[in-house]
Amino acid sequence: MNKGLKVAFIGNALPRRCGIATFTTDLELAVSHLDDVAQTAIIAMCDPGGQYDFPPHVRWSIAQEDAGGYLAAADFINGQGFDIACLQHEFGIFGGAAGDYVLGLIAALKVPLVTTLHTVLDRPDAAQRTVIDAILKASARVVVMAQKGRDVLIDTYGADPARVLVIPHGIPDVPLEAPGEAKAALGFAGRRVILTFGLISPNKGIETMIEAMPVVLEQAPDAVYVVMGATHPSLLRDAGESYRESLIARVHALGLDDHVVFLNRFFDRPELLEHIAMCDVYVTPYLLETQMTSGTLAYSHGLGRPVVSTPFWHAAELLVDGSGVLVPFNDPVSLGAAVADLLIDEAARLAMGKKAYNASRAMTWANTALRYRDAFRASLNRARARANSTALPPASVSHFAAMCDDTGLFQHAVLGVPDRHHGYCIDDNARALLACCGTGEGVDAVFAKAMAPRFAAFIQHAWNPDTRRFRNFMGYDRRWLEPTGSEDSHGRTLWALGVCAATISDPQLARWAGRLFALALIDVGHFTSPRAWAFTLLGLAAYCPAYPYDHAARHLQALLADRLLARLTQCESPDWVWFEDRLSYDNARLCEALIKTGSATNTPALIAAGLRSLRWLMAIQTAPDGHFRPVGSEGFLLVSRDSPHAFDQQPVEACATVAACLAAQRVDPTGEWERDAQQAFAWFLGRNDLRLAVVDVATGSCRDGLHPDRANENRGAESLLAWLLALADMHHFATVPRQRVGGESPAVTMPKQPRVTA
């Protein structure tokens, strides 16, 4: 079971009177009630002159203009053993230029940061841009409450899409009630009530609704507009009650004294919910389109109140399904007509309210807390992986070099000695070329530069123009043992060529790989092997972005992906989520191919299928105590849906699983894929059924597998490359989290599905 999380929330907190304080307090309370959360606390901001009697869950406070106080708060969070810090960011609540004092706190944190941006500016000034850029860089995850906010962060600020989550504003979970009882209790019986609530300030557009009241009263003469809330503290401090007084004066001038009521105070939650319950129509006549979030809108919508709103960003998204009405900005006539239509049409009003209530159930605070918890867990897992990246061993190529001669890479070894008797194969030389195309902590760059042309020459020599296929097996005497290799070896070679064409630094080698890839791709449409399809798709995921005008390649990419998806659909059942009626070798590559192709082509159905099949496969390949247990080769030939054989375990399965899980993490960052990748990688290092290290880190040699009672001490090419490719993937993921590999596109939000157990 997961260790209980300890979460520190940074932001305003009740009894401070503002929307951020209400949000932070509600979120902290909801998260604290989760079973796997051990402790929560709020670090509260105090505005100049603000003195608050904070409750016990506020453990620390920061004076807004005290720069040193931010560092002291970071020391408190670090020293108290919190796992995660969750910052609630809004311009105006932190000190310094555009609130840049908070950057000192962020920089001093030793725990992962998850930031909620309550405002996302599409046209920031220089100081604001500096602050947001720093927050984006420091945050493991950034939460916004509307898709528009995510789009602005990506398009304007260049945010990493995989780190930006949309989690709607939380709402109380209360029953849907008719307004009659609440009206009677609050003194509004017999009236049709229009409501606006929240801290009063000019950008709320209240004057527009006041101007609209004569239009409303023509059709609903008993209507009353209730403006509920205190004047915003900053406005009150700077200008007193002048804005409210101007609204009251306008009410008098229009003769609306009996139809507009001001309730000038801050309401606690029970009173607030009771007042929302009494209204027939809720109105948000905001003046600015760029309003990203409105807690008042979320609460009213969540309580099942019909909403009439101007089309500011949050409202435009929330009400697009018809659970409210949008009217133009600063248009009293349109606003009044829309409100009046709902007041006099009870059936339409009640139907809209019910639709709003039903649509908002996923946004209750309990559900919101779960989504934040997932973000916290994913951020913590990423932080641990990055911390552990320094512990990842370097990639030794000592054994790799010993396994090569001037022809290429030998297939097999007797213990650690190359076995010339079995010669060479294109499968291993293609994998070797893949390893030489890696980045970061992969194969040594000098070695890769020297050896890549040798592996390329082997592949070129393997090409048989008469059959338009690659040969596979070559004897030590350099004679080919067959005119045509298997479909799978052809597909694996295409995979290596596609990656080489797109990523290798040598332009001549890249050009060669691109040409041969296109030539060898022609007949793949006739292949029938799902693994050949998958290997080819992995090559296409790299090749197509580098060669966007190769329409034949893109056509084949769609064709093979559809075939692989169809195989899954045909074979799938509730307890067998796989592409065939048995498990075989390199299994996770099928899932990886769908995930990477779906990401590259923006096809959610492919991503969903890849994640679904990989989730099932990981359950099959996870031992009861949690370590990775790959499908054994003894079971490859069994046409059975019983539990697969555990032996012999092959390094290629661990390598494929690492790659597939890291691909899944990039498109589904709230899942447990990073943990699964780490478990598969740990198989090499001894977290396996035999508690025996499979790899010799010092030489880079890798045992050929695990038998039930011992390791296979032979150390052939497939095994050493499985280790080197898995190690390169882990290093790359941990050290370059923002880079998308192999044509991957921004993360796609996928529905959560339970992990099945074998």
484-500 pLDDT per residue, tens:
999 999 999 999 999 99
Are residues 199 and 137 part of one domain?
A: no
Q: Which amino acid is at 554?
A: R
**Co-location of 484 and 522 in the same domain:** yes
Q: Strand 192-197's sheet: what is its strand order?
A: 260-263, 223-228, 192-197, 281-284, 307-309, 324-326
How many beta carbons lie within 10 A of that of residue 55, not counting itself?
A: 12
Ramachandran class of 255: left when φ > 0, alpha when ψ lies in -120 to 50, beta otherwise = left
What pLDDT is stored for residue 431 in this prediction? 95
Residues contacting 715, CB < 8 A, separation 6+: 399, 413, 415, 416, 696, 701, 702, 703, 704
Decide if 481 is inside a domain: yes
Query: Which segments of 285-355 are extended strands (E)?
Result: 307-309, 324-326
Alpha carbon of 227 to those of 280, 314, 405: distances in Å?
A: 14, 21, 84
- Residue 744 within a domain: no
For residues 144 and 247, state if they share a domain: no
Dist. CA 150–CA 142, nearest whole Å: 9
Task: Write out the two tokens for 570.
Answer: 């045909």
Task: Indicate if 72 and 98 belong to the same structural domain.
Answer: yes
CATH code where residue 230 lies: 3.40.50.2000
Residue 530's H or E segment, with its range, is: helix 530-546
Count of CA atoms in the C-beta half-sphere (13 A) of 64: 19
pLDDT at residue 715, as a whole number: 93
Residue 741, in any domain of the structure: no
Report how far residue 322's alpha carbon sits from residue 306's, in angstroms, rounded to the nearest whole number: 10
For residue 142, give Cα distances in angstroms to 101, 432, 589, 592, 612.
19, 39, 31, 26, 26
Instruction: Clarify whether residues 486 and 585 are in a common domain.
Output: yes
- The per-residue pLDDT for 642 is 52
Q: Are residues 447 and 497 in the same domain?
A: yes
Q: Give the pLDDT confidence score for residue 637 in this predicted structure.
A: 39
Residue 756 lies in a domain: no
> Which of 241, 250, 238, 254 has its CA nearest to residue 207?
250
711 with 606, same domain: the answer is yes
What are phi and psi for residue 293, nearest 5 degrees?
-140, 140
Q: 286: how many CB neighbours lie within 10 A of its CB?
A: 26
How many domains in the chain? 3
Other beta carbons less than 10 A from residue 246's beta carbon: 12
Residues 524, 559: one domain?
yes
Do the domain assignments include residue 740?
no
| Whether residues 133 and 187 fall in one domain | no
User: Residue 131 CA to chain centroid, in angstroms?
Assistant: 23
What would you report as the CA-atom Rg of the chain, rounded to the nearest whole angstrom?
31
Residues of the chain short of pLDDT 50, as ranges, are 1-2, 440, 635-640, 737-758
Q: Is residue 29 part of a domain?
A: yes
Domain with 708 in it: 392-735
Q: Which residues pair with 262 in a beta bridge?
A: 227
Return d(Cα 46, Cα 61) in angstroms, integer.
Answer: 7
pLDDT at position 381, please? 81
Domain assignment of residue 628, yes or no: yes
Give 29-79 pLDDT, tens digit per residue.
Answer: 999 999 999 999 999 999 988 889 999 999 999 999 999 999 999 999 999
Torsion of CA 636, 642, 646, 650, to 10 degrees: 30
pLDDT on residue 638: 41
- Kindly state whether residues 159 and 283 are assigned to the same domain: no
Tell me, what's the pLDDT at 757? 31
Q: Can you give the pLDDT at residue 266?
A: 78
Token match 């010799």: residue? 696
Please indicate, yes or no, whether residues 399 and 343 belong to a single structural domain of this protein: no
Do the Cβ atoms of 445 and 452 come closer than 8 Å?
A: no
Question: Measured between alpha carbons, how far apart are the two ends of the chain, in Å?
Answer: 18
Whether 360 is covered by a domain: the verdict is no
Residues 148 and 102 in one domain: yes
- List the structure tokens of 582: 């048995």
Q: What is the pLDDT of residues 691-714, one digit of tens each?
A: 888 999 889 999 999 998 889 999
